[in-house]
Amino acid sequence: MSFRQALESGKFLVTAEVGPGKGTDVEHLLKDAQIIKDRVDAINVTDLQSSVMRLGSMAVCHMLTDMGIDPVFQVTCRDRNRLALQSDLLSGWALGIRNVLALTGDHPTMGDHPRAKPVFDLDSVTLLEVIGKLNSGLDMSGNELKGSPDLLPGAVVNPGADNEAALDLQIIKMEKKIEAGAKFFQTQGVYDLDAFEKFMKRVEGLNTKVLVGIILLKSVGMARYMNKNVAGVFVPEPLIQELKKAEDKAQASMNIAIRLIKGAKDLCDGVHIMALGWESKIPPIMDEIGL
């Protein structure tokens, strides 16, 4: 079953994520994908995550299709103008890629090439509109295509905005993304189920699918770093202390993820697991939840 078919079927969706490395060695990445291929509906491939130069998302997505995996092609607006973005979307379709996650992208100053010139010709909303035009057989300037794609567009949302005004802004942007064509949303990492339930109640009338983002906590240091540096992500102190006291940090991280997914399961349409190299933990997590 393709990701589109799974989404349209109404089943509880499960997606995961892999990040290409800095170089051409993909052996470990493909092994990670193989471990989880039969347990997820799709695998996202990040696009120069955190503005760090890496192997490209399109190439890895194509490798995943060769393995029988339905990838989600993450496309950021940071590095390409509208010509290159449209060309990459068409190229991805020609290579068998059917799903796209539209992202504006982090600024280059956050990455390992801080002097790189940012593009941002489009943002995530206008990129979604472009995907819709390409699907209809036209480019952004209204020129007719000789053969058009049928891409499934998705987007991101942050349900853990730091204050009420920020949450309102996230929901406004979410509504604009839906109007622009987004069919599904993957959220930023969620650790507070009460806040997530509040968010889901605010958006329950919107015609879209929401997959709760779950980031596996690999250490106390990682949790504290995200609290300090990642906007809209907050790991409550009790979870940090649980991880700190645990002899088996990996098992504690899995236990936290299992509780969060079980708690969110009746609130949303699926889960997007960001394992950050711990892809081998995803099958036992799925077994415990019964997915």
Q: Write the pLDDT tens digit of every residue in 121-155.
A: 999 999 999 999 999 999 999 999 999 999 999 99
Which token pair is 92?
């991805």
Average pLDDT over residues 206-232: 93
pLDDT tens readout for residues 33-60: 999 999 999 999 999 999 999 999 999 9
Q: What's the token pair of residue 50?
A: 């955190």
User: Distance of alpha carbon 97 from its chain centroid, rounded?
Assistant: 16
Q: Is the pTM value of this prediction over 0.75? A: yes
Q: Is 244 helix (H, G, I), strand (E, B) or coil?
A: helix
Using an 8 Å Cβ cutoff, are 29 and 20 in contact?
yes
Rounded to 5 degrees, φ, ψ at 54 are: -145, 175
- State how far the alpha carbon of 93 is from the alpha carbons of 87, 90, 135, in Å: 10, 5, 11
Mean pLDDT, all residues of the chain: 95
> What is the C-alpha to C-alpha distance for residues 193 and 259, in angstroms, rounded to an integer?
10
Give pLDDT tens digits for 167-208: 899 999 999 999 999 999 999 999 999 999 999 999 998 989
pLDDT for residue 230: 84
CATH class for domain 3-289?
alpha beta
pLDDT > 90 fraction of the chain, expressed in percent and rounded: 93
